[in-house]
Structure 1
Amino acid sequence: MTVRHGLQRAALSKHKTVSAVTHYSIPEEMEAGSVVANLATDLGLDVDTLRQRKVRLDILANKKYLDINKDTGELYIVEKMDREFFCPSKAATICFLKLDAIIESPLRIFNIELEITDINDNVPHFRRDVIHLDISESTPVGERFSLNNAVDLDVGVNSVKTYHISESDHFTVEIQTGRDGSKFADLILKRALDREEQAVHDLILTAVDGGVPARSGTATVTVRVLDANDNAPAFDRESFTINLMENSPIGGLVVKLNATDLDEGSNSEIEFSYSLYTSEKTQETFSLNQNNGEIRIKEIINYEDFKIYDMEVIAKDKGSNSLSGKCKLTILITDMNDNHPEISIKSFQNPVKEDAAMDTVIAVVSVSDKDSGENGVVDVHISDKLPFVLKSSSDNYYELIISETLDREKASEYDIMITVTDRGSPPLSDNETITLEVLDVNDNVPQFPKSFYTIPVMENNAPGALLSSLTAFDPDLRENQYLVYFIIEKEILNTSVSMLFSINPENGNLYALKTFDFEIEKEFTFHVEARDSGVPALSSNVTVHIIVMDQNDNTPVIVSPWRAHGSVVEEKIARSTDKGTLVAKVIAIDKDSVHNSRITYQFLQNTDATLFSLDQYNGEIRTTRMFSYRDARHQRLVVIAKDNGDPALSATVTIKLSTVETALKSYSDLIEEPLEYDIFSDLNLYLVIGLGSVSFLLLITILVTIVLKCQKPKPSKGAPPCRNSVISERNSTIADSTLVSNDAYWYSLFLAETRKGKLVVRQPVPKGARYVVSSIPRSTGVTDTSDSAASTLQVR
């Protein structure tokens, strides 16, 4: 063993042939890098000469497996070789790889043969994992069955050597050798098979090669035992005695014979037949089903004709050599009550009205029985839960009468079954069913699903719009079920209800005939009647409550500050005005309700945003600081009053403020003449309460009107002094929340402030040409009625 350039030289056997062919032999398991031979030494070449001359290896097989080290002249393995790849044929016991070593200048060619020897690197395997065999249970012992052989890619002693079978009481294997030396296995039956004992045998066949160590492979041998007709059919019992009543129905089952055969397939299929010992009369009276063994009655059996029937039945299988079994039967006929009672309908009143009187006779029936004694005595009854009874009228005659009130809506038809039963043993019976139709009468009032309908309608609806469908139900039939709808006439706000609403008389569809305005009319209540077409007609009515829903269809109206011309208001304000002084109060009202009337205020234009502030909820404009010499003398404020509808509606007012250097004179001698007015309710609360407070407000209005007519003005009190006043162009004075106004402005402020839940008090200014209007919280004053405002609107 020598090592050159990191390559380990393998132990090789070199053989020089007469043909000058250099022969080498290597095992197939030799690893990559192993040296096969030193060609320089073996071929008699000088290593230095070999280095100077070009050497190449021409391998007739795959060149990637071998190569020459040109520095040392060593032939080495590049990739591990598989003998079964180069020599796949089992016929070749010797595997050669031929190659040529070519040296140039001058050209020399050396022939080399490389023999690859086999190792036991392959496992025997079967072409199929499962081998199926079908063997009859009648197969004699010693019978031989060929099995598929195993395949081993190795050759010689490394190929398949022997076979083994798993332990079995019925089978063993024998090894056969072919002409080429291959081994085969035959399955030998060593004990007789019995399918009824074991139908399938599963065996394991093992193939073992001759290598060291030996390798093996397995396959499953499944032996299916085929049936042989070796079992005769057998009955459950060898003899039967059966009692049978005379007059049993034709086709009735007498007995079902059961025979079994342990074989399978056609060997277990059984046919039944009568034997020669069965009389023709018996075969005419009873039928035998050859497939299932059922014996049934073929014709009427009469005890007086035959009392005993004897028969013998054969069960025969369908095997090639059929086998059979026998059974004897004795049928004893039992006498019985063989005449059925009879029912006859003598008269029948059909149909009948549902309001027919009690005890009305519907039908008359007669009954009879040809038997005598107890067998001829009969009992008659009708089916349970029917509003009828049977009463005996004379011998064997019965009347069917009404015993309870009929109701077609519960049952429009009755199937009345009359049953007659004799007292024989066993008893016989007969029945007759009559069908009674119940006619309808108009005895049901039309019914609405609900007794009260609340229907919301959005204001500004289109005339003729469908509001709802008021459909009633009448369980009667035909004309008694045909309903007509109409509105019960009444007046609503001095208007006939038929001018406001209409209803389709055929289907109860309710329509609006006019467009409703929530600010004028908020609800309607009337009645709708449904009447059937019966004689006499029946009717019922239902209450309809129409609720008009508010829409945002009214634009806010600005009532303060008062504007004489257009939408511009001109005011004067002292430059010495303090921070927080009330400059103006914008008041807007909206006829809508709930959130549609909630108004907020915003500046659309403000000359100096740092000088004025606007409360978005009460509309008060106040100074946020004192005027400075830098502030412009003229200020322009544009305020928008926007409601809360969707989409929102709005109104605007423009206020022009001019600053003056002089302050207004204080009125310390003002005499207050307080006038109080009861306020209906807070606006927001009124909107939330909505329609439910309409009746209450109407009552309050009537009471206030009565009180105002009887009330006198109270003594006046001195007015508190005013400071930081503003003189307006319209002869009105604003001092904090106190206003001096003419009659028109007074009235507008009265309307707006009273709806805000405040008291509006008006007193004269000295010299008598103007009035001071004060807005104070409602809780500070004494309540007066609103009608007293009429007297205070006169200029003194």
Structure 2
Amino acid sequence: MRILSTWNSILLELYILWPCIMSMSFFNLPAQELKLENHVRVKRGWSWEPLHVTEEQEVKKPMYVGQLKTDSDGHDGAIRYVLFGDGAGTIFVMNEYSGKISVLKKLDREEKPFYTLRAQAINRFTGVPVEAESEFVIKVLDINDNEPKFNNEPYIADVSEMSSKGTYVTQVIATDKDDPTHGNNARLVYSILQGQPQFSIEIKSGIIRVDSQIDRETKAQYQVIVQVKDMIGDIGALSATTTVVINVLDVNDNAPKFQQKTYEMSIIESVTIGEIVGTILADDIDIGKNAEIIYSIEERGDYNMFNINTDSLTQEGIITLNKLVDFESRSRRYNIQVRAENKYNPELFDTATIRVYVVDVDEPPVFLEREYVMEILESSAVGSHVGSVTAKDPDDTDTIIRYSILKNKHYRLFDIHPSNGSIFTLKSLDREVDLWHNLTVTATEAKTPAYVSYVHVYIRVMDVNDNAPQFQSISDIYVCEKARLGQPVHTVTAIDKDEPNLSHPFSFTQPQDEYTNANFTITDNRDNTATILTAQDGYSSQDNLLFYLTVIISDNGTPSLSSTSTLTIKVCDCGIDNNTEFCGKGGFFFKFVNSGAIVGISIFILLVLVLALLVHVRCRKNQNRISEKGEDLKENIVTYDDEGGGEEDTEAFDITGLRQQTVMRERKPKRTIRTDIQSMYRLSLGLGPDVAIFKEFLSEKLEEANTDTSVLPLDYLHCYAFEGTGSPSGSLSSLSFTETNVSETDLYY
């Protein structure tokens, strides 16, 4: 290739310089000189070296390119060289004395690959041309200064799924502005950066082919990133990338699948032939014509009772009634088996069973399923969709169904869309609080609210790793004073409220700062337990009775959760057998209590008991004394509840106890009283009032009470506790009056 490139350059220069050669003085020689041409070698008038400039060179001052000169130049300054043509004076200059050519500025081969110039040699003194005008070329040499560019972007291609390896997909083409004849500057290679192993590319041509089997149902579109480099990918090569979008075309390779294996439908006995019983739908994950389905009823069961047709728009199977049904006279349930097969490939099919129930008129809506089981993650946000329930009205397919949730302990956590039966959350859920939520959903006819149907919805809360592991209940941990280095002390177990498949196994570690100076270490047993080991020989309860071990427990969830706990390890004298069971049964307590302390504590407890017994006996005696007085007082008060008979009544008991008690009387309305009667209450307490005055006072009050008709009469027994001592007036009670002294007013009351 390099030899061919050199010959091309020589031929190009000969082609350019051929007119100059033809116009040289060799062909204008006089006739006498032509006669000697077979005998004398004639020299060429002009001579020059190859002229070329490398592109993108920075030119701060004129840079030498080459030299033109004539054989007639005697180097005496008589010849003046003149430069004409493309770029003369602006890009190239020539020294008029030496014929040396220089370039003035940086050149770009991609803008202009060569410059055609002319030169002339003139006698400086006579102005006569010494040589004929000559034309020459200055070539701009290429460098790798242009990165390759992809043509015809963007690239979009199609390929059928299941295509075999090596199947042609498309071709990408890139070009480079650098000189393809000069080195490897424009020699390109292709590679794939993204899109393997499904596709590969030919390194020189850029043809993309299938390299492994592809499935449209797995991925319908690929974005393949292709890179191109010049200089055959050598060091210093320039590169470019492009994205090829490859669409995977569908192939009819999937069978239709029913959404349910068993469908339940219902019809009322009054429906006519041809009426729609229900619809079923089988899904085909292929697209376009490859997803077209034909439904049919297999010849088994009650196949002659119904027909099925395919809706070309929705691809549903519409089941219609073929014969009349009677709720009272025949079976109330019909079983048929339907088949959904691919329209263009009958070998691709699926089957389902349909149960048609005949119901009497005026029936409530019927749910499509007898019960619903739904699942939702406990981390789902409030308002997340849980699932849907669907009910149909067997009486009228156009009846609007309204859904609601019956109130129970879980109904406040969920709500349901009244029109479409979609269930969504109202509050955050926690699997560790409630794993299952049981709801009862009702479906009611909008036109006839009395017709209501019910269905149970069981919602399972799926676990997420949201609980950190914790230690299980830990008993007291003891270490013997004579324990050796590396000896097991205790085995601890961790638990996690999350499900085991999310959190197990646990890992047990110590903080780094405590691990280096630890008195104990912990070893992970890889079965959610860990063993505490001693980290030294021997322990002293006198120096340090308690040790603390910090343990970090981490689960295996995503993300991993951890908790930090501190274990307390007690040092114990385990005796000769070096057994910690002694510590657990009281050895730890008696470690601090010697025999003398036990005797002292026993004596103190005995003294406290004796003192409590003495206090109890003393209190019982005082209580008996008080009760005896209380019995006398209570007996007299209860027995004598009238006004009494004066001295005769007071002789039966000691009234001294009553005098020692202060009787608080209610405040009475102010009345006009006689001023000469002073402190009748004090007189009644035994101060010895004047008998005549006191008798007159009582008579006045009695008459006032008997004649007052505005209020109910009051028995003076309720107003006066007693009459006092030494009263000669006798009884003042109205009960002692005779019939002759009772007026009509008294009888009224």
TM-score interval, normalised by the smaller of the two chains: 0.3 to 0.5
Greater helix share, structure number: 2
**TM-score, structure 1 normalization:** 0.35
Higher strand share: 1
